[in-house]
Structure 1
Amino acid sequence: MAERMVDVDGAELCTETFGDRSDPPVLLIMGTGASMLWWEEGFCRMLAEGGRFVIRYDHRDTGRSVTRKRGSSGYTGLDLAGDAVGVLDAYGIPAAHVVGVSAGGALAQLIALGRPDRILSLVLISTSRAVPGDRELPPPTEEFMRFASSAEADWSHTASVIDYLVEYARVLAGSRRQFDETAVRDLVRRDVERAHRFAAVRNHDSLPEGERPRRPLSSISVPTLVIHGTADPMFPFGHGEALSEAIPGAGLLALEGAGHGVDRADWETIVRAIIAHTAVDGPVRAPRRNAGPRRTDVGCDPDTGA
């Protein structure tokens, strides 16, 4: 399908759809700092072939959506959640199944807390709680923290940015699986070259939160599935466990050896789970534990999306 620009409260956002509009709608929310290309086309087509109308879009300051100079974004993290609702409005969709990864999963939770009428179900991938909870969460891996504290890029130089993002993706992938550098480098290159002003993505690093909903996660009543890698170095497996325990009736699908994000090796498993969860006759509940240990040695970080 061709890309379509939509207006959300004066902000031009780039969107793209896959599948038949008569099928159940699935809105994909990527992590902050990442364009819709990270919901890869092959993944979106698999969902569409499973009978879902799929919508992906670029956040503000990513891809072909509206961009502003560094430090002049003029919006909050909560506004990004509002953008997702605005995309549904643009397509005339009253409510959708919402799938969020990384910080996109936090945005999905905020929508469920603030606008529950717009959510049919939630799928939360590689993410953590959007609001505080009682359970203590494990820290980031040392490798992740070393990269976050020391790696740098020359944001005026395309090759430097691409190298930096490839290495970041390598860290996020964890250490238990082989990293496909060729595929990731191609994706990063296309993402950088497609963007209006790629350096604008750095606005996401310092967004104010905005006034978040005060309702607890326990008030979320829509069917929810948490999908989490057992080797996630950004949000360790304990984050997925805590999230699934905080939302009543939530299922937990563990991806053995998976890092942070939607790895091509897991596409079939994730798509099958989403299709089952968004079935017209109700979700097929995932077991509380599908694979992997109760807790791993891996760590976490807040709102960097990849």
Structure 2
Amino acid sequence: MTNNLSNGERLSRINGVELGVETFGNPAHPAILLIDGAAASMLWWEAGLCARIAAAGRFVIRYDNRDTGRSTSYPPGHPGYSMTDLAEDAVGVLDALGIERAHVVGRSMGGGMAVIVGVDHPDRVASLTFVSASAGIGALPPSEEPVGETPAGPDLTELAALVDYSVAAAKAESGGSPHFDEAAIRALIKQDVERARNFASTLVNHFAMEFTSPVRGGYRDIGVPTLVVHGDRDPLVPLSHGEALSAEIPGAELLVLPGVGHAVLPEPVWDVFVPALAGHTAGDRR
């Protein structure tokens, strides 16, 4: 019988750093590794969503990238790692859990980590899913003007200011989505700020690191089934980026989520996303 509740959060020593890791479901089921993007801890893969995916017969893994949540933190503005290091952490999470092969899901900047894992470690990846991601290929439109205003910068010493800033940023990145739930986002962000080792580092360090690429090829060299998921209201990475990404990867499928902004999977679309992900990941067991 599938256990769709959290199997517990732990700190694991991986690649010389500590990473917060949490799993959901039965370890005997196919594994899905969730990689989030810039400044996003594992909490942004909501526990309810992880439990829903686990209930579909998957072993779900979410974790904190460096400089988010309970994972190792570096001084603000001085990250001691590159994109490749973060991708190697994803592989290290699989090693720590004894998983040989997983379905890898990368969201936003996490898509850059996912492609490194998929191309440089093809034996560890059963499928890839990109959410709100871009390959940066071709003549693509820039980010659109956000809906609403984001403060110039928070007072890093004030919890309320950090929360207000992050809520305003999330609202802008929603692209005016009808699914944006400010009360739920505020509660999530408050938990995120309180849980982080150093939220000042969370806000800046992923943007200050070296952005590296796979060493064994690029998106065209992905050799596993690939699903591209994109919201049609994404103001930071407009839908045409997702369309170009799916066209670049051999055999990739595109799932467009109406009314969805950047790097979120709001609960009203879980009934679409979860069956699509379950179907996409049905063909391989670890």
| Separation of aligned partners in 1, 2:161 and 2:19 | 27
How do residues 132-171 of structure 1 correspond to structure 2 at under 5 angstroms? 133=137, 135-143=138-146, 147=150, 151-171=152-172
**1:70 maps onto 2:53 in alignment:** no
Q: How many percent of aligned residue pairs carry the same amino acid? A: 48
Report the Cα offset of residue 72 of structure 1.
3.3
Structure 1 counterpart SS, 2:66: coil
Report the Cα offset of residue 146 of structure 1.
6.9
- Structure 2 unaligned regions, length at least 5: 1-6
| Separation of aligned partners in 1, 2:109 and 2:155 | 24
**Does structure 2 retain, via aligned residues, the 8 Å contact 1:162–1:192?**
yes
**1:95 maps onto 2:107 in alignment:** no
Residue identity matched to 2:247: E
Which whole-Å deviations, capped at 9, do the CAs of 1:73-108 have from their partners, x for residues lacking one?
211121111110000010111110001111112211
**Does structure 2 retain, via aligned residues, the 8 Å contact 1:75–1:207?**
yes
How do residues 28-107 of structure 1 correspond to structure 2 at under 5 angstroms? 28-107=34-113
Counterparts in 2 of 1:216 and 1:197: CA distance versus 1, 3 Å = closer
Structure 1 counterpart SS, 2:27: coil
Structure 1 counterpart SS, 2:28: coil
| Separation of aligned partners in 1, 2:196 and 2:110 | 19
Report the Cα offset of residue 281 of structure 1.
6.5
Q: 1:203 is matched with which residue? A: 205
Aligned residue among 214, 217, 238 for 1:215: 217
**1:263 maps onto 2:266 in alignment:** yes
**Does structure 1 retain, via aligned residues, the 8 Å contact 2:149–2:168?**
no
Q: 1:290 is matched with which residue? A: none
Which whole-Å deviations, capped at 9, do the CAs of 1:228-261 have from their partners, x for residues lacking one?
0111011100000000000000000111121112
| Separation of aligned partners in 2, 1:68 and 1:278 | 35
Moved more, 182-191 or 214-223: 214-223
- Structure 1 unaligned regions, length at least 5: 283-306
**Does structure 1 retain, via aligned residues, the 8 Å contact 2:37–2:106?**
yes
| Separation of aligned partners in 1, 2:26 and 2:179 | 35
**Does structure 1 retain, via aligned residues, the 8 Å contact 2:100–2:124?**
yes
Counterparts in 2 of 1:79 and 1:140: CA distance versus 1, 3 Å = same
| Separation of aligned partners in 1, 2:49 and 2:107 | 13
Q: 2:280 is matched with which residue? A: 277
Residue identity matched to 1:71: G
Number of matched pairs: 277
Q: 1:237 is matched with which residue? A: 239
Aligned residue among 246, 249, 257 for 1:247: 249
Structure 1 counterpart SS, 2:224: coil
Which whole-Å deviations, capped at 9, do the CAs of 1:173-196 have from their partners, x for residues lacking one?
112415211010000001111112
| Separation of aligned partners in 2, 1:152 and 1:4 | 32
Q: 2:4 is matched with which residue? A: none
Q: 1:190 is matched with which residue? A: 191
Residue identity matched to 2:226: T
| Separation of aligned partners in 2, 1:281 and 1:30 | 23
**Does structure 1 retain, via aligned residues, the 8 Å contact 2:147–2:175?**
no
Aligned-residue RMSD, C-alpha: 1.7
| Separation of aligned partners in 2, 1:84 and 1:144 | 33
Q: 2:15 is matched with which residue? A: 9
Report the Cα offset of residue 213 of structure 1.
2.4
| Separation of aligned partners in 2, 1:7 and 1:32 | 21
